[in-house]
Chain A
Amino acid sequence: MSDLPLLSLITFLPLVGSAFILLIRGEAEVVARNARNVALFTSLFVFGFSILLWTGFDSASAAFQFEERADWIAEGIGYHMGVDGISMLLVLLTTLLTPICVLSSWIAIEARVKEYMIAFLVMETMMVGVFSSLDFVQFYLFYEGGLIPMFLIIGIWGGERRVYATFKFFLYTLLGSVLMLLAILYMYYQTGTTDIPTLMESSFAPQAQRWLWLALFASFAVKVPMWPVHTWLPDAHTEAPTAGSVILAAVLLKIGAYGFLRFSIPILPDATHYFTPLVFTLSVVAVIYVSLVALMQEDMKRLIAYSSVAHMGFVTIGIFTFTVQGIEGGLVQMLSHGIISGALFLIVGVIYDRIHTRAIDRYGGLVHRMPVYAALFMLFTLANVGLPGTSGFVGEVLILIGVFQVNTWVAFLAAIGIVLSAAYALWLYRRVMFGALVKDELKEIVDMNRREVLVFAPLVVIVLWMGLYPVPFLEVMHVSVANLIEQHELALAAGQGLELAAR
Chain B
Amino acid sequence: MLQLTAIVFLPLLGAILAGLFGRFIGNRGAQLVTCGLLTLSALLSLFAFVEVGLGGRTVTVELFTWLDSETLQVSWALRFDQLTVVMLIVVTMISALVHWYSIGYMAGDPGIPRFFAYLSLFTFFMLMLVTADNFLQLYFGWEGVGLCSYFLIGFWYDRPAANAAAIKAFIVNRVGDFGFALGIFAIFLAFNTLDFDAVFGAAPAMAGKTFHFLSWELDIVTTICVLLFIGAMGKSAQLGLHTWLPDAMEGPTPVSALIHAATMVTAGVYLVVRCSPLFEYAPIALVLVTVVGATTAIVTASIGLVQNDIKRVIAYSTCSQLGYMFFAAGVSAYSAAIFHLFTHGFFKALLFLGAGSVIHAMSDEQDMRKMGGIAKLIPITYVLMWVGSLALAGMPFFAGFFSKDMVLEAAYAAGSGVGEYAFYLGLVAAAFTGFYSWRLIFMTFHGRARAGEAVMVHVHEAPRSMTITNILLAVGAIFSGWLAVDLLVGEGRAEFWGSSILVLEANDVIEAAHQVPLWVKASPTVIGILGILLAWHMYVRRPALPGKLAAVHREAYLFLLNKWYFDELYDRALVRPAMALGRTLWRGGDGRVIDGLGPDGVAGQVLAMARRATALQSGYLYHYAFAMLFGVAALVTWYLVSVGG
The segment out of B64-72, B475-483, B552-560 that lies at the interface is: B64-72
Q: Out of A167, A293, A323, A365, which one reaches B603, CB within 8 Å?
A: A167
Closest to A421 in B: B174
Q: Out of A296, A401, A409, which one reaches B214, CB within 8 Å?
A: A409
Q: Is A412 positioned at the interface, with any CB of B under 8 Å from its CB?
A: yes
CA distance in complex: A285, B496 (Å): 51
Chain A residues in 8 Å Cβ range of B21: none
Q: Is A447 positioned at the interface, with any CB of B under 8 Å from its CB?
A: no
CA distance in complex: A400, B157 (Å): 34
Q: Out of A168, A229, A234, A296, which one reaches B582, CB within 8 Å?
A: A296
Chain B residues in 8 Å Cβ range of A426: 150, 167, 170-171
Q: Is A328 positioned at the interface, with any CB of B under 8 Å from its CB?
A: yes
Closest to A423 in B: B171
Binary contact track B582-614/A, C-beta < 8 Å → 1, others 0:
110110011000110011101100000000000
Q: Is A404 positioned at the interface, with any CB of B under 8 Å from its CB?
A: yes
CA distance in complex: A293, B166 (Å): 22
CA distance in complex: A389, B140 (Å): 7
Q: Is A405 positioned at the interface, with any CB of B under 8 Å from its CB?
A: yes
Binary contact track B574-585/A, C-beta < 8 Å → 1, others 0:
000011011101
A397-B136, A434-B154 are known contacts. Are A325 and B72 too (CB-CB below 8 A)? yes
Which residues of A, 288-315, contact B by the 8 Å Cβ criterion?
A: 289, 292-297
Please count how many residues in chain A sit with their CB below 8 Å of the partner chain's CB atoms.
Answer: 59
The segment out of B178-186, B448-456, B509-517 that lies at the interface is: B178-186
A329-B69, A434-B157 are known contacts. Are A418 and B174 too (CB-CB below 8 A)? yes
Q: Is A159 positioned at the interface, with any CB of B under 8 Å from its CB?
A: no
Chain B residues in 8 Å Cβ range of A435: 157-158, 160, 163
Q: Is A493 positioned at the interface, with any CB of B under 8 Å from its CB?
A: no
Chain A residues in 8 Å Cβ range of B185: 400-401, 404, 411
Chain B residues in 8 Å Cβ range of A394: 67
CA distance in complex: A324, B581 (Å): 36
Q: Is A419 positioned at the interface, with any CB of B under 8 Å from its CB?
A: yes
Closest to B580 in A: A296
Q: Is B133 positioned at the interface, with any CB of A under 8 Å from its CB?
A: no
Q: Is A430 a contact of B178 with CB atoms below 8 Å?
A: no
Q: Is A411 a contact of B182 with CB atoms below 8 Å?
A: yes
Q: Is B215 a contact of A409 with CB atoms below 8 Å?
A: yes
Q: Is A255 positioned at the interface, with any CB of B under 8 Å from its CB?
A: no
Chain B residues in 8 Å Cβ range of A468: 66, 76
Q: Is B247 positioned at the interface, with any CB of A under 8 Å from its CB?
A: no
A292-B578, A426-B171 are known contacts. Are A415 and B182 too (CB-CB below 8 A)? yes
Closest to A294 in B: B582
Q: Is A401 a contact of B72 with CB atoms below 8 Å?
A: yes
Q: Is B189 positioned at the interface, with any CB of A under 8 Å from its CB?
A: yes
Please count how many residues in chain B sit with their CB below 8 Å of the partner chain's CB atoms.
Answer: 56
Q: Is B586 a contact of A324 with CB atoms below 8 Å?
A: no
Q: Is A416 positioned at the interface, with any CB of B under 8 Å from its CB?
A: yes
Chain A nearest Cβ from B210, distance in angstroms: 13
CA distance in complex: A192, B112 (Å): 71
Q: Is B147 a contact of A387 with CB atoms below 8 Å?
A: yes
Q: Is B590 a contact of A471 with CB atoms below 8 Å?
A: no
Q: Is A296 a contact of B583 with CB atoms below 8 Å?
A: yes
Q: Is B602 a contact of A171 with CB atoms below 8 Å?
A: yes
Q: Is A204 positioned at the interface, with any CB of B under 8 Å from its CB?
A: no
Q: Is A388 a contact of B139 with CB atoms below 8 Å?
A: yes
Which residues of A, 461-481, contact B by the 8 Å Cβ criterion?
A: 468-471, 474-475, 478
A295-B578, A430-B163, A435-B163 are known contacts. Are A418 and B143 too (CB-CB below 8 A)? no
Closest to B20 in A: A375
CA distance in complex: A232, B186 (Å): 37
CA distance in complex: A172, B599 (Å): 7
Q: Out of A172, A292, A365, A404, which one reaches B189, CB within 8 Å?
A: A404
CA distance in complex: A474, B595 (Å): 39
Closest to B177 in A: A418
Q: Out of B158, B163, B181, which one reaches A418, CB within 8 Å?
A: B181
Binary contact track A154-177/B, C-beta < 8 Å → 1, others 0:
000000000000011001100000
Q: Is A474 a contact of B143 with CB atoms below 8 Å?
A: no
Q: Is A398 positioned at the interface, with any CB of B under 8 Å from its CB?
A: yes
Q: Is A408 a contact of B170 with CB atoms below 8 Å?
A: no
Q: Is A427 positioned at the interface, with any CB of B under 8 Å from its CB?
A: yes
Chain B residues in 8 Å Cβ range of A229: 594, 598
CA distance in complex: A293, B167 (Å): 19
CA distance in complex: A409, B167 (Å): 28
A231-B590, A292-B581 are known contacts. Are A328 and B69 too (CB-CB below 8 A)? yes
Chain A nearest Cβ from B69, distance in angstroms: 5
Chain B residues in 8 Å Cβ range of A328: 69-70
Q: Is A365 a contact of B158 with CB atoms below 8 Å?
A: yes
CA distance in complex: A228, B590 (Å): 8
Q: Is A405 a contact of B174 with CB atoms below 8 Å?
A: no
Which residues of B, 171-226, contact A by the 8 Å Cβ criterion?
A: 171, 174-175, 177-178, 181-182, 184-186, 188-189, 212-215
Closest to B215 in A: A409
Q: Is A70 positioned at the interface, with any CB of B under 8 Å from its CB?
A: no
Chain A nearest Cβ from B149, distance in angstroms: 13
Q: Is A382 positioned at the interface, with any CB of B under 8 Å from its CB?
A: yes
Q: Is B214 a contact of A415 with CB atoms below 8 Å?
A: no
CA distance in complex: A5, B591 (Å): 48
CA distance in complex: A171, B595 (Å): 11
Q: Is B171 a contact of A422 with CB atoms below 8 Å?
A: yes
Q: Is A408 a contact of B214 with CB atoms below 8 Å?
A: yes
CA distance in complex: A471, B157 (Å): 38
Which residues of B, 118-152, contact A by the 8 Å Cβ criterion?
A: 136, 139-140, 143-144, 147, 150
Q: Is A436 positioned at the interface, with any CB of B under 8 Å from its CB?
A: yes
CA distance in complex: A415, B150 (Å): 21
Q: Is A367 positioned at the interface, with any CB of B under 8 Å from its CB?
A: yes
Closest to B76 in A: A468
Chain A residues in 8 Å Cβ range of B589: 289, 293
Q: Is B579 a contact of A228 with CB atoms below 8 Å?
A: no
Chain A residues in 8 Å Cβ range of B147: 382, 387
Chain A residues in 8 Å Cβ range of B581: 292
Chain B residues in 8 Å Cβ range of A289: 585, 589
Chain B residues in 8 Å Cβ range of A470: 66-67
Q: Is B578 a contact of A434 with CB atoms below 8 Å?
A: no
Binary contact track A321-346/B, C-beta < 8 Å → 1, others 0:
00111001100000000000000000
Closest to B598 in A: A231
Chain A nearest Cβ from B266, distance in angstroms: 20
Chain A nearest Cβ from B132, distance in angstroms: 11
Q: Is A419 a contact of B189 with CB atoms below 8 Å?
A: no
Chain A residues in 8 Å Cβ range of B178: 415-416, 418-419
CA distance in complex: A210, B406 (Å): 67
CA distance in complex: A305, B166 (Å): 25
Q: Is B585 a contact of A325 with CB atoms below 8 Å?
A: no
Q: Is B582 a contact of A293 with CB atoms below 8 Å?
A: yes
Chain B nearest Cβ from A296, distance in angstroms: 4
Q: Out of A295, A398, A427, which one reaches B167, CB within 8 Å?
A: A427
Interface centre among B214, B215, B579, B599 (most CB of A within 10 A): B599
Q: Is B67 a contact of A398 with CB atoms below 8 Å?
A: yes
Chain A residues in 8 Å Cβ range of B189: 404-405
Q: Is A404 a contact of B188 with CB atoms below 8 Å?
A: yes
Chain A residues in 8 Å Cβ range of B72: 325, 398, 401
Chain B residues in 8 Å Cβ range of A415: 178, 181-182
Q: Is A231 a contact of B579 with CB atoms below 8 Å?
A: no
Q: Is B160 a contact of A419 with CB atoms below 8 Å?
A: no
A-B contact pairs, 29 of them (CB 8 A): A168-B599, A168-B603, A228-B594, A228-B598, A231-B594, A231-B598, A232-B599, A293-B582, A293-B586, A293-B589, A295-B578, A295-B582, A324-B70, A325-B69, A389-B140, A398-B72, A400-B185, A401-B72, A404-B186, A404-B189, A408-B212, A411-B185, A419-B171, A419-B178, A422-B174, A427-B167, A433-B157, A436-B158, A478-B69
- Beyond the given A398-B69, A401-B184, could you list 9 further A-B residue pairs with CB under 8 A, ordered by the A residue number? A397-B181, A401-B72, A401-B188, A415-B178, A422-B171, A434-B154, A435-B163, A469-B64, A471-B65
Closest 8 CB pairs of A and B: A324-B70, A404-B185, A292-B582, A388-B140, A296-B582, A434-B157, A293-B586, A295-B582
